[in-house]
């Protein structure tokens, strides 16, 4: 997610002068801009400045917000930053532990809201895009691999929430068929979809990803639970590019029809 540049919001104009917010024209102050335009229409910088509340000696809160977003380049990258990294970065004058906690709390609430809004329960899965939509926001800020299964009923509706099977690099020791199918049998699902993320952003499956997938598909055929696809989540840095890859669509593995 790139830093938003709202042409109607002058708060993103260059601000090299370390003046105080109270000395700024009212139309440039973050809170006044938010009152006038609404939260949904102001820039990322303005919203971040409202959260930070104040800057430091020699750097007002707008300059601090600009510096933070310039350093990380996107809200997604900012959300991935650890708390000690934020509060300990000497480039961010005025960003101490309390303000860093406020930022992390706001970004985590945004992630949870997206997850809650997604409402996976009883959601039909008809395509890899549907699968990606269930877990995209959850996976976006992770800095390590996670492997999930989506349990589906006979009408391909998601039963319950995505089930996390493992954390860490995907390998046979972490993702064994018994770990995949034991909860699937208990839930009484008719089919399942495998999903994992690549924190690097590149959703291209590795040779190990493909090998493990084939092993799980074969086990499912013996047990009688269809494995319909394995979707790898990444991030899209190009407009219109997919942020996921479906092994079924790519023809990498022969799945049950």
Q: Where are the domains of the chain?
A: 10-115, 121-250
For the entire predicted model, the pTM comes to: 0.61
User: Looking at residue 30, what is its pLDDT?
Assistant: 84
Q: Count of alpha carbons within 13 Å of 140, Cβ hemisphere only?
A: 22
Taking only the tens place, the pLDDT of each residue in 12-40 is 444 444 466 666 766 678 888 888 888 88
CATH fold of the domain at 121-250 = Cytidine Deaminase; domain 2 (3.40.140)
Distance, in Å, from the CA atom of 190 to the CA atom of 219, rounded to the nearest integer, reads 14
Separation CA 152–CA 190 (nearest Å)? 6
Tokens representing 233 are 């989540």
Q: Strand pairing partners for 150?
A: 193
How many other CB atoms are found less than 10 A from the CB of residue 19? 11
Q: How far is CA 152 from the centre of its chain?
A: 23
Extract the residue ranges of the chain whose pLDDT is less than 70: 1-23, 25-27, 114-123, 169-174, 237-240
Q: How far is CA 109 from CA 35, 103, 117, in A?
A: 22, 10, 12
């Amino acid at each position: 997610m790139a830093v938003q540049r709202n042409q109607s919001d002058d708060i993103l104009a260059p601000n090299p002068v370390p003046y105080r917010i109270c000395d700024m024209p009212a139309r440039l102050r973050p809170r006044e801009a938010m009152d006038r335009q609404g939260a949904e229409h102001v820039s990322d910088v303005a919203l971040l400045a409202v959260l930070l509340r104040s800057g430091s000696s020699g750097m007002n809160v707008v300059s601090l917000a600009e510096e933070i977003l310039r350093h990380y380049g996107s809200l997604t990258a900012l959300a991935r930053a650890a708390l000690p990294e934020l509060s300990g970065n000497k480039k961010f004058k005025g960003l101490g532990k309390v303000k860093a906690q406020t930022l992390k709390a706001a970004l985590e609430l945004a992630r949870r809201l997206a997850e809650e809004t997604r409402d996976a329960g009883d959601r039909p899965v008809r395509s890899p895009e549907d699968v990606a939509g269930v877990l995209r926001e959850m996976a976006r800020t992770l800095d390590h691999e996670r492997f999930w299964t989506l349990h589906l009923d006979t009408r391909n509706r998601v039963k319950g929430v995505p089930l996390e099977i493992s954390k860490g690099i995907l390998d046979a020791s972490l993702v064994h068929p018994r770990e995949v199918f034991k909860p699937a049998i208990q839930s009484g699902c008719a089919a399942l979809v495998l999903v994992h993320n690549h924190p690097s952003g590149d959703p291209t499956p590795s040779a190990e990803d493909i090998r493990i997938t084939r092993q799980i598909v074969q086990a499912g055929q013996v047990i009688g639970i269809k494995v319909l696809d394995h979707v790898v989540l990444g991030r899209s840095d190009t407009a219109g590019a997919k942020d996921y890859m479906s092994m079924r669509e790519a023809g990498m593995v022969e799945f049950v029809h």
